[in-house]
């Protein structure tokens, strides 16, 4: 293969899709991966590190909507594979398409600078920086913890969900989990198995779905009813949620204050069970710390041994100078969630938060980038304006919060990428 020099940062699920897509287009990329294996966030370690995967982590999207376009997950995989099974799948994908020769393992990109001619210099700490004509960033966005800010100081153990690996260290202790997302609910259930007391603090209500509805994963059902007009479909979704769960009040949780699917879906079948069995206890918003005490918005103040903040992640690129590339927590202006307005040879792969898995979308994004590099796809002249419009559309569609800054509808985003590829 010959042609422009192309670098990819990361060999996780999105980076692997990028390598394959570019090579299929006749290009010859090189990927830089700081660890010694593929898989990115899905490489479990009992010690805190880049990966946020815990010992019991499973997918929250079904395997049918979480596989690459022409590489089905094994038939014996469950509906919601474990992190071990997913890593097996990604390693098999890399072997099948012989992606390993394109990856420099154990090589962290320390700094990226822009050179004349829209070229990119990558400093990896060994020798002079290498220059590339195009740069694809696929380093993931679930690794830089976003910490909440509260008055006072907590004197117990205080950690972010990124550092939670297993429940056993919390056996017999009083634990508070802060957050209403999937990680928070999973951690509350896991600590609820062993802790003396587990509290779960929500600032607002969220739609909590079981992982099976009418015998099927919810995303499979939603895919089957896409033909129904949106207003009717949303009403059916709300009625199904209400019928199957009874709402949040029976579990002591606040009811949602927004329309269904205007926030990232939370899937957990065990949390309602643990709430009703007294293994997890609902709390309102945290207002501050006072030594071992945690204060809440309803006036309560209770002691805890450990607080786990499951409060999301920042969108972070430590190798870029912030004056060159940075995004605010609440807006990420990228055309088609890939193309920044300011840099014509820079692309972001997998920088989305879908109601489904990221890597099938990353694969479609990478195919579009390959078409762009080879001249088969041309960006519209007004792509900067369209990127700004996309930010506005996200704010209107989803609950406005950093959590939803890169939220997309899985099917809609996949279709708009495919339309762009077709020209």
Alpha-carbon dihedral sign for residues 328, 331, 334, 336: positive
Q: How far is CA 294 from the centre of its chain?
A: 29
Which of 269, 284, 309 lies at the terminal end of a domain, its last residue? 309
Looking at the structure, tell me whether residues 353 and 227 fall in a common domain. Answer: no
Residues 242, 362 within the same domain: no
The reply to whether 338 and 368 lie within a common domain is yes
Residue among 127, 149, 165 at smallest CA distance from 47: 165
Domain assignment present for 1: no
| Alpha-carbon gap, residue 30 to 39, rounded angstroms | 16
Tell me, yes or no, whether 295 and 180 share the same domain. Answer: yes
Per-residue pLDDT at 92? 97
Evaluate if pTM is beyond 0.85: yes
Domain that holds residue 322: 6-144+313-422
Domain assignment present for residue 206? The answer is yes
pLDDT average per 10 residues of sequence, the chain (423 residues): 88 97 97 94 86 90 93 96 96 97 96 96 91 96 90 98 96 97 96 98 95 92 91 93 94 94 92 97 98 97 98 92 84 94 96 91 98 96 93 88 88 94 87
Q: Check whether residue 330 and residue 195 sit in a common domain.
A: no
Same domain, 41 and 140: yes
Instruction: Return the pLDDT at 1.
Output: 53
Q: What is the pLDDT of residues 221-239, one digit of tens each?
A: 988 999 999 899 999 999 9
Residue 258 sits in the same domain as residue 304? yes
- Of 309, 337, 357, the one marking the end of a domain is 309
Total structural domains within the chain:
2
Do both 171 and 231 map to the same domain? yes
253 occurs within a structural domain: yes
pLDDT tens digits for range 308-361? 999 999 998 999 999 999 887 668 999 999 999 999 999 999 999 998 889 999
The answer to the question of residue 106 being in a domain is: yes
Same domain flag for 304 and 164: yes
Residue 320 lies inside a defined structural domain of this protein: yes
CATH of the domain at 187: 3.50.50.60
Beta-carbon contacts of 319 under 8 Å, excluding residues fewer than 6 positions away, are: 9, 109, 110, 111, 112, 122
Residues 108, 234 within the same domain: no
Q: Is the same domain home to 266 and 195?
A: yes
Tokens of 357: 């898995």
Query: Which distant-in-sequence residues (6+ apart) come within 8 Å of 153 by Cβ?
Result: 289, 290, 291
Whether residues 288 and 331 fall in one domain: no
């Amino acid at each position: 293969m010959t042609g422009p020099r192309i670098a990819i940062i990361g060999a996780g699920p999105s980076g692997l899709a990028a390598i394959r897509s570019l090579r299929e287009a006749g290009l010859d990329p090189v990927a830089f991966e700081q660890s010694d294996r593929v898989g990115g966030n899905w490489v479990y370690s009992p010690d805190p590190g880049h990966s946020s995967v815990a010992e019991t982590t499973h997918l929250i999207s079904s395997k049918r909507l979480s596989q690459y376009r022409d590489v089905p997950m094994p038939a014996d995989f469950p509906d919601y594979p474990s992190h071990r099974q997913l890593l097996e799948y990604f390693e098999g994908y890399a072997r099948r398409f012989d992606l390993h020769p394109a990856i420099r393992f154990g090589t962290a990109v320390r700094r990226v600078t822009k050179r004349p001619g829209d070229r990119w210099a990558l400093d990896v700490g060994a020798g002079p920086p290498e220059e590339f004509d195009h740069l694809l960033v696929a380093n993931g966005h679930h690794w830089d913890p976003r910490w909440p800010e509260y008055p006072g100081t907590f004197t117990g153990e205080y950690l972010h969900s990124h550092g939670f690996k297993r429940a056993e260290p919390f056996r017999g202790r009083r634990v508070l989990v802060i957050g209403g997302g999937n990680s928070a609910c999973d951690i509350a259930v896991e600590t609820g198995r062993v802790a003396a007391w587990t509290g779960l603090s929500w600032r607002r209500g969220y739609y909590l779905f079981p992982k099976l509805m009418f015998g099927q994963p919810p995303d499979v059902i939603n895919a089957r009813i896409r033909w129904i007009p949106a207003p009717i479909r949303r009403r059916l979704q709300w009625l199904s949620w209400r019928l199957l769960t009874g709402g949040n009040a029976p579990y002591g949780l606040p009811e949602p204050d927004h329309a269904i699917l205007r926030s990232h879906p939370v899937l957990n079948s065990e949390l309602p069970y643990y709430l009703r069995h007294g293994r997890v206890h609902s709390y309102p918003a945290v207002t501050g710390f006072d030594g071992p005490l945690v204060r809440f918005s309803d006036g309560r103040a209770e002691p805890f041994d450990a607080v786990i903040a499951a409060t999301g992640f920042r969108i972070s690129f430590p190798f870029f100078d912030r004056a060159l590339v940075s995004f605010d927590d609440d807006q990420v202006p990228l055309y088609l969630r890939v193309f920044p307005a300011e840099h014509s040879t820079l692309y972001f792969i997998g920088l989305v938060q879908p109601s489904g898995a990221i890597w099938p979308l990353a694969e479609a994004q990478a195919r579009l980038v390959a078409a762009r590099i080879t001249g088969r796809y041309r960006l519209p002249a007004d792509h900067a304006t369209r990127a700004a419009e996309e930010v506005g559309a996200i704010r209107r569609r989803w609950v406005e919060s950093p959590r939803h800054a890169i939220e997309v509808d899985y099917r809609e985003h996949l279709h708009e990428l495919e339309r762009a590829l077709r020209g």
